[in-house]
Amino acid sequence: MKLTMNFSISDDDTRRYTDSSDLRTFYQQFGLCGLEVMPLMPDETHILESDMITGVHACCITDWMDLNQEMLLEHYRKDLDYAKAVHAEYVVFHITQVSYAESLTYVMHHSNEEVVDAAAAFINRLLDGTDYDFYFLMENLWWPGLTFEDPAITSRLLEQVHYPKKGLMLDTGHFMNTNTDLQTPDDAVVYLNQMLDVHEDLIPMIKGIHLNQSLSGAYVKDYQKHMLTPSADPGELATQAFLHIFHIDLHQPFVANGVRELVQRMDPLYVTLECISRDRKEHARLLRQGVNALQNS
């Protein structure tokens, strides 16, 4: 199992480190072997070296089903070609469809089945006939698509994708977001194990885990009592949606009894400690908590 941290090619992340050596020293102090990189922009700082990059997280578009397919193919091929160039072992791809307005109103226009069918068809267009050799790991969210709530939906997705090195990336925090009744990390461990119970036959397909915690049910329940009206201004609408989603998807360290055993049950190839942090010092604190939970729970 390879343990990594998330890293985006953006000013917010790259400015935290003086050079490649500084970045490498930072993640190695926690026993991590490398990075899962989201290539939001070209690496003009040249802070990344190829051997640092274990995985690449595609820059995913959540409201995509009505967009031009050729544009989408070009968008994602840039990320896949980057992953090939840096010899990444896997790529992460979100399986979801939600617009800004849907995320604010909770009125969804597509079913899980419709989304996974459309995603599988698109993935086949993206990957059929290519010579990529990385794992293509499909990640869950809590909006329509792959949520891990129903093994029939998970199987439906996997069965339709042609790519031989396909698999699943379980985001533990995203799965917690499907249950607003969860109150404690211990509740989350139980909920995740219940999901694995019904996904028992599919556990070998879980090649990676985004290990994090998101217990935002109280916020969601309160929000749904007085939901925002989506703005007619596109910029304001985006701001509304992003602020709302940041309150839902917390990406905190998953610290609870049973976290280590939960990970061992899945026996993944890759675990990414996926945290949201404001600066290097906070990121170090969050990573230490996440590593300790894996070692001591």
- Using the 8-state DSSP alphabet, how is residue 199 labeled? T
| pLDDT value at residue 229 | 97
The answer on pLDDT for 62 being more than 90 is yes
Q: Give me the residue label for tokens 């499907």.
A: 178
Smallest CA-to-CA distance from 247 within 285, 214, 275 is with 214
For 2-40, the pLDDT digits (tens) are: 999 999 999 999 999 999 999 999 999 999 999 999 999
For 73-87, the pLDDT digits (tens) are: 999 999 999 999 999
Mean pLDDT for 187-216 is 99
| CA 6/CA 217 separation, integer angstroms | 24
Residues 6+ apart with CB under 8 A from 97: 62, 63, 64, 65, 110, 114, 115, 118, 119, 143, 144, 145
Domains observed in the chain: 2-296 (3.20.20.150)
**What is the share, in percent, of the chain residues with pLDDT greater than 70?**
100
Mean pLDDT for 34-59 is 97
| pLDDT value at residue 251 | 98
**DSSP one-letter string for 107-128:** --SS-HHHHHHHHHHHHHHHHT
- Cβ–Cβ < 8 Å for 91, 80: yes
| CA 214/CA 185 separation, integer angstroms | 9
What pTM does this model have? 0.97
Q: Encode 190-200: b = buried (16+ Cβ within 10 Å), e = exposed.
A: ebbeebbeebe
| pLDDT value at residue 297 | 57
| CA 183/CA 151 separation, integer angstroms | 24
Q: Which two tokens stand for residue 280?
A: 């290097």
Considering the chain, what is the average pLDDT of its residues? 98
Tell me the C-alpha to C-alpha distance, in Å, between residue 256 and each of 55, 177, 213, 237. 26, 17, 10, 36
The answer on pLDDT for 272 being more than 70 is yes
Smallest CA-to-CA distance from 23 within 2, 52, 54 is with 52
Tell me the C-alpha to C-alpha distance, in Å, between residue 81 and each of 7, 76, 175, 282. 18, 9, 29, 32
Q: Please tell me whether residue 31 adopts helix, strand or coil conformation.
A: coil
**What is the share, in percent, of the chain residues with pLDDT greater than 90?**
99
Q: Give me the residue label for tokens 């967009």.
A: 67
Mean pLDDT for 194-213 is 99
| CA 249/CA 276 separation, integer angstroms | 9
Number of other residues whose CB lies within 10 A of the CB of residue 71: 11
- Cβ–Cβ < 8 Å for 214, 252: yes
Smallest CA-to-CA distance from 102 within 148, 141, 71, 138 is with 141
| pLDDT value at residue 296 | 79
The answer on pLDDT for 125 being more than 70 is yes
Q: Give me the residue label for tokens 């026993």.
A: 31
- Cβ–Cβ < 8 Å for 132, 90: no
